[in-house]
Amino acid sequence: MPAKRKRERVVGTHFVWLLGQRDGVWHADGRSNRSDARRHSLGTKDRGETLVALQRLDLVQAVNLGLAARSALAETSPGLLSLSEGRRLYVEHVSRPRVVGGAKPVSVKRYRPVLDKFEAFAQSETITAWNQVNRRTLEAYAAHLDGEGYAYATEYLELTTYLELTTLKQVVKYLIEDGHLPASSLIRLPLVKPQGTSTYCWRAEEVQALIRHCRQHPDLVFLENLMVALACTGLRISELASLRWSDIDLNSNIIKLIDESTHFRRWPSKPTRQTKSGRSRSFPIHADLRQVLENLSQARDGLVFHGPKGDRIKADTVRNVLVREVLTPLKVHFNSAEGEIGFAHGRLHSFRHFFCSSCANSGVPERVVMEWLGHSDSKMVRRYYHLHDDEAQQHMQRLDFLGDVGGNVAVGDDR
């Protein structure tokens, strides 16, 4: 039996800590105290930095547990806060329960690749602590992202850069507010959010072609049903995947999309359904969608829509089938100029853009579209709106600029 790893006992101002190393990195264990100070990575292999970090940790945990005044944090100069420890503190903060302001699990999950990528960049720049991250760091990181050569449109890259820099600014802001960094670490870097979108918006004739193609292939009936639902509701594929028969009231012709993130959980093992906005919403059922719903049989799992094998919908699987079995054979009928986004670039989210544009072109009030899509900001609705050339022509020809003299303008000397 291997010998138990020895740990050093260090008495701090407020707690007793057990110091140990894992893979060379120092850790401090304060769980044996009357008030559990928890176990923490000190983010360094250096002994001197460890003792400085431990002194700061001792005070921070005392403040968090109500054993010291928060003003005490301002009276001391924080030591270096390693990137790994600052990241752990931030993820722990945003992972707190939703009732006290925590983020949704799907949002927390998105932070991982963002922080992974930034840590790799920081390492190449010999940055090891959040104290070293400043405005110049983020500007250099933005230039680094711009040079990565994404195989996407410029708008995608701009949005990715905006979101990643925003996340990093939020991390630094939280670490300052919670006393882990000095106020001087605040990063003042205004960011301009991209207003455009690189998502292709289906045209009506393209959606019709997609559906007709699926009807000709029995193994694609599941995809036909999904496309009709996406086109007639503007739902995200994740929302459609979790749609249950209990959400549908055919008598009232209404779909109720429920967000359960703040509901009392009678069955903790049951997955919690969430919408991106965190709000429940309802909207009427279009006649084309109703026909699909009336022809579907109700499965035992209570879900309305299923994947190709009758199992739960997986967005990646549906997207791959859409590209391989539908877009690829049909793209010869809908060519686009080289270098331009066209039919072949459409994806599941393109149906949300199609829905919004169809509503706008048909005169549905913006406020109504916002309610149906679940947005509280009209800017997001406008982001989804696309005006195709043929629709623009129709709107232009309906206008009357010249009245009775229109079409009878004389051609001659314009002195």
What are 337-357's pLDDT values in tens digits?
Answer: 777 788 888 999 899 888 888
Q: What is the pLDDT of residue 216?
A: 93
Q: Are 42 and 129 in contact (CB under 8 A)?
A: no
pLDDT tens readout for residues 164-182: 899 999 999 999 988 888 8
Write down the pLDDT at residue 203. 87
Residue 22 predicted with pLDDT over 70: yes
Say yes or no to pLDDT of 149 above 50.
no
Tens of pLDDT, residues 192-215 = 766 656 678 888 899 999 999 999
Q: How many CB atoms lie within 10 A of CB 40?
A: 20
- Residue 270: the pLDDT is 55
Q: What is the pLDDT of residue 245?
A: 94
pLDDT score of 383: 59
Share the mean pLDDT of the chain: 80
| Main-chain phi, psi angles of 256, to 5 degrees | -110, 115
Given this structure, which CATH class describes domain 204-261+273-395?
Answer: mainly alpha
Domain residues of the chain, as ranges?
1-76, 81-198, 204-261+273-395
Percent of the residues in the chain that have a pLDDT greater than 90, as a whole number: 29
pLDDT score, position 312: 92
Global confidence as pTM = 0.57
In which region does residue 234 sit, left (phi positive, over 0), alpha (psi from -120 to 50) or beta (all else)? left
Q: Does domain 81-198 have CATH number 1.20.1090.10?
A: no
Higher pLDDT pick, 346 / 267? 346
pLDDT of residue 381: 57
- Residue 156: band (very low, low, confident or very high) from pLDDT cuts 50, 70, 90: very low
Separation of alpha carbons 34 and 115, rounded Å: 34
Q: How far apart are CA 82 and CA 65, in angstroms?
A: 22
Alpha-carbon distance values, 101 to 65, 139, 262, 268, 377 (Å): 19, 30, 11, 20, 21
